[in-house]
Amino acid sequence: MKSSFFFSLIMILAFAVLCESSELIIRYDDGSVQRVQLRRPPSNILQITIGSEIEPYLGRINVISGSYGMNCGAPFGNKTRHLANLCNGRDYCSYVINVNVLGDPAVGCAKEYVAEWRCGSGAIRSARVPAEAGRGSIITLSCQ
């Protein structure tokens, strides 16, 4: 039941992203419908948690932010989506920092990479790779 629910939810969100709809319509098994107005485009959604008692990712990696080049004036969290897509829900994640994949947010400046994550709903953890991080450095996120 859970896996089919999450598959359905993923399909709904994928469709919402493609359509850039600002409304999520939930249809229940009794035929009733609930409409949820989204505050921002669905393409900005990183995670959906159902119920206040559910611990996100059950003790696994839950990315808070991925920032590339903040030391050069790039905005905080500018690479969060990419890091989250690769690492969320895992126990351990080795992330390769590659400027050819991430793009160069500050040309001519040696950029560092900073990752922040939680293990479930625990304390925020962080890791940092110093300047010139985008030349294939690896940053490791772990909940082991």
* Average pLDDT estimate for 94-120: 94
Whether 52 has a pLDDT exceeding 60, the answer reads no
pLDDT bin (cut points 50, 70, 90) of residue 121 is confident
Q: Are residues 82 and 127 in the same domain?
A: yes
* Percentage of the chain modeled with pLDDT above 90: 52
Whether 25 has a pLDDT exceeding 60, the answer reads yes
Which is more confidently placed, 78 or 31?
A: 78
pLDDT bin (cut points 50, 70, 90) of residue 122 is confident
Q: Are residues 31 and 70 in the same domain?
A: no
User: Which residues are within 8 A (CB) of 16 and not within 5 positions of it... i.e. 6 or more apart?
Assistant: 24, 38, 42
Q: Are residues 98 and 130 in the same domain?
A: yes
Render the burial of 85-124: b for 16+ CB within 10 Å, e for the rest. ebbbeeeebebebebeebeebeeeeebbbbbbbbbeeeee
Report pLDDT for 32: 80
Q: Are residues 67 and 19 in the same domain?
A: no
Which is more confidently placed, 100 or 17?
A: 100
Do the domain assignments include residue 51?
A: no
Mean pLDDT score of the chain: 82
Give dist(CA 43, CA 50) in Å, integer: 19
The type of residue at 124 is I
- 3 state SS of 120: coil
Number of structural domains found in the chain: 2
Report pLDDT for 101: 93
Q: Are residues 77 and 135 in the same domain?
A: yes
Q: Are residues 61 and 39 in the same domain?
A: no
Which is more confidently placed, 115 or 9?
A: 115
CA dihedral 38, 40, 45, 50 (to 10 degrees): -30
Which is more confidently placed, 44 or 118?
A: 118
* Chain Cα centroid distance, residue 64: 7
- Domain residues for 83? 56-142
Whether 11 has a pLDDT exceeding 60, the answer reads no
